[in-house]
């Protein structure tokens, strides 16, 4: 839910982090340009083009994080910022720009003295996933801004996954996999499987089965306060938890994992455009089919 305007002039910022990812080297020149621009305005700047520094620690006192690249860069940045409340500006140099709404020109105008009047702070709920292997020690929690996916590799077989909600048995899924997504992630993989689009102000997440083998297994929307447990039963091959499409945790029969809301939201700076404008522009949501005029 958008709660406040972000109208801080660039010249008023004291500490800024400019980050990207090693997977997008074409963004690194703009990282250097932006870092130099903020320094010229008197800010203390941490420059992290490879996207490998521990941001939650280093950016705890920052006034602004600028993530340059695209939606994938923003997903990575959000996970690295869990535990902080620093506003983050996503600059899109990629294709979709669904999350990273701002352009390089927007950033340059901001550095040149343009004070934004429509930018909003838009907190985004994140997920925390805690994997408890049947054999071995529990792993440190992982975090997702989009989704946590139970995914198979080349060898695909029916997977049995038991689900409980707040300690009460809810269902057993027999499917090719599962997608557990936030409102942000509801327009990603979950949507392609027939899951609903969630309003961005909701505190909720959706569980969507992939190719379920039971007609009554349908996507379910759960309260954001819920603690949802899963257990993998039956033999499995090449099964893993995939976090935001960027991190992979191996799963074996008998393993358990728990999903709940992360302890902090991701504080994204939105452009001020309507969510429905973005859906129509980026996903062609509600648009009429394009017909070939030449076909008559």
The set of catalytic residues is: 71
- Which H helix or E strand runs over 130? strand 127-132
Which letter, b or e, does each residue of 211-223 get, where b requires 16 or more Cβ atoms within 10 Å of its Cβ? Answer: ebeeeebebbebe
Please give the Cα distance from 248 to 272 (Å, whole number).
Answer: 34
Q: What is the 3-state secondary structure (H, E, C) of 132-148?
A: ECCCCCCCCCEEECCEE
DSSP letter for 192, please.
Answer: H
Which one-letter DSSP state was computed for residue 235? -
Q: From CA 125, how far away is CA 184, in angstroms rounded?
A: 8
Is residue 51 a contact partner of residue 31, using CB atoms and an 8 Å limit?
no
Structure tokens given for 93: 């140099």
CB atoms within 10 A of CB 103: 14
Element (H, E) at 271: none
Q: For residues 239 and 156, what is the distance between their CA atoms, to the nearest angstrom?
A: 9
């Amino acid at each position: 839910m958008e709660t406040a305007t972000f109208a801080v002039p660039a010249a008023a910022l004291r500490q800024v982090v400019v980050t990207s990812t090693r997977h997008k080297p074409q963004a690194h020149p703009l990282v250097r340009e932006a870092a130099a621009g903020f320094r010229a305005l008197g800010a203390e700047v941490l420059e992290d083009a490879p996207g490998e520094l521990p941001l939650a620690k280093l950016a705890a006192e920052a006034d602004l994080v600028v993530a340059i690249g695209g939606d994938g860069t923003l997903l990575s940045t959000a996970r690295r910022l869990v535990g902080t409340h620093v506003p983050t500006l996503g600059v899109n140099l990629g294709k979709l720009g669904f999350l990273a709404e701002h352009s390089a020109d927007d950033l340059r105008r901001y550095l040149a003295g343009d004070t934004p009047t429509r930018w909003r702070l838009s907190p985004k709920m994140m997920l925390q996933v805690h994997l408890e292997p049947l054999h071995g020690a529990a792993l440190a929690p992982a975090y997702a801004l989009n989704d946590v996916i139970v995914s198979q590799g080349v060898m695909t077989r029916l997977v049995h996954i038991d689900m409980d909600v707040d300690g009460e048995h809810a269902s057993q899924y027999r499917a090719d996999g599962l997608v557990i997504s936030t409102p942000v992630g509801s327009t990603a993989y979950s949507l392609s499987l027939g899951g609903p689009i969630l309003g961005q102000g909701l505190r909720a997440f959706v569980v969507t089965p992939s190719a379920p083998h039971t007609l009554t297994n349908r996507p379910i929307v759960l309260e954001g306060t819920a603690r949802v447990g899963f257990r993998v039963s039956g033999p499995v091959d090449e099964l893993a938890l995939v976090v935001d499409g960027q991190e992979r945790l191996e799963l074996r029969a008998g393993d358990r994992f728990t999903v709940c809301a992360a302890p902090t939201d991701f504080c994204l700076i939105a452009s001020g455009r309507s969510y429905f404008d973005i859906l129509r522009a980026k996903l062609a949501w509600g648009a009429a089919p394009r017909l070939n005029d030449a076909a008559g």
